[in-house]
Structure 1
């Protein structure tokens, strides 16, 4: 397993987007990101993770309905930003990490 993936493997990662107060919890099983997304059910998406200096990670995946999504996770500051296609526009959503264990 790639080193950046091993940081997340078998761990739970929870966060809240501060622009809309939406909270999510993801569980990582190797390169599979598992999320319970209410009406959409349980999603199992293959992720790519790259580690950068100062505890920063980039996580990217393809959402079946929304297309490519990228998160930049900053463990040093317990923050993240996400780029997402929302209602036809590319948006950047800031967030706060609430748990990583």
Structure 2
């Protein structure tokens, strides 16, 4: 018996790429890049180089992704390995969007 794994992806344009990157990783990395260069939570991820590559290749989706992340529930955003809390991620998202 073969069980196929179906990966959940975000249901909007560029959603598959955002799933690969991770919403929290995207926010953490962009916050470092545009707001506070000392913010380094994103550096904890072993696959950061490949995620950054996907971020750079998909710059056209950044605004859409941030808009969708801003509307996510803080409780869902709490589930991350970067040590960031949902409300904090939402505030960081707003700050990035304002740049």
Q: TM-score, normalised by structure 1?
A: 0.28
Q: Which has the higher helix share?
A: 2
Higher relative contact order (CA 8 A, sep 6+): 2
